[in-house]
Amino acid sequence: MRMALEVKEVDQTQDDIIKASKFKFKRDMEMFRKLQSLKFTTSPQAQSEIQAIEMSKTSDALTIEFGFDLAHLAKASKHFNLESNDELKSFRRIVIAQKESEEKAEFDRAQPPANVIGMIQEEGKLLGEPQYKQDGTMTFDYFLETSKIVVKHTYNQTKDGLDEHAVARRAAIAEGKEELFQ
């Protein structure tokens, strides 16, 4: 079956391929969101494996929805020169802008509030002048003291969310839905 799809001639219309391309872009955005949520908790190798699985799922979804897979979509896109198609360029720009907006929102959400930054700075000032070694790095003791301040405030900012996540994860495990947290 796969072999038959790989050698299949492009017999779809350009509009069909544009629709399939938009479908793929939307799936790519979903994959991006999934990988974003794993960025800080999953190794790069595991992320690559998840991305490969998600691409395979996208190919399967294309086959179900449009009757051809990712390889054929790439071939058809080249056939119709869709890299220069204004409609797809515009759609791609929208998807990229949405992705960048979500990344910025995630970054902003991860930033400590201004009052917390102020508290960290005030506690840091109590340590006195920064102490540096000849190589320009902080002395071990000074680094340790500044790290304690950061860890304390990080804990205070994240403890409630981590506790809520643990409760939800344990409930999912008890219900046999552990895959929700993988």
Please report, rounded to a whole number, the percentage of residues in the chain having pLDDT higher than 90: 68
CA 90 centroid distance within chain: 22
The pTM (predicted TM-score) of the whole model is: 0.61
Give CA–CA dist 70/6, Å, rounded. 10
In this predicted structure, what is the pLDDT of residue 7? Answer: 63
According to DSSP, the residues that pair with 138 across neighbouring strands are 132
Name the band, by pLDDT with cuts 50, 70 and 90, for residue 18: very high
Looking at 58, 93, 110, which one is the last position of a domain?
110
pLDDT at 175 over 90: yes
The domain tally of the chain equals: 2
SS (H, E, C) 54-82: HHHHHHHHHHHHHCCCHHHHHHHHHHCCH
Same structural domain, 99 and 122: no
Task: Please indicate, yes or no, whether residues 95 and 121 belong to a single structural domain of this protein.
Answer: no
Q: Are residues 94 and 130 in the same domain?
A: no
Same domain, 154 and 131: yes
Q: What is the mean pLDDT of residues 145-164?
A: 92
Say how many C-beta atoms besides its own lie within 10 A of residue 51's C-beta: 15
Question: Given 110, 130, 148, which residue is the final one in a domain?
Answer: 110
Work out whether the CA dihedral 77, 80, 82, 84 comes out positive or negative. Answer: positive
Same domain, 89 and 167: no
Average pLDDT over residues 133-146: 95
pLDDT digits (tens, 9 = 90+) for 80-114: 999 999 999 999 999 899 989 988 988 888 888 99
Question: pLDDT value at position 5?
Answer: 45
Please tell me the predicted confidence (pLDDT) of residue 61.
96
Which region among 6-10, 56-60, 82-86, 102-106 has the lowest average model confidence (pLDDT)?
A: 6-10
Q: Are 84 and 132 found together in one domain?
A: no
Rounded Cα distance between 107 and 39, Å, is: 12
**Contact (CB, 8 A) for 28 and 95:** yes
Task: Looking at the structure, tell me whether residues 148 and 137 fall in a common domain.
Answer: yes
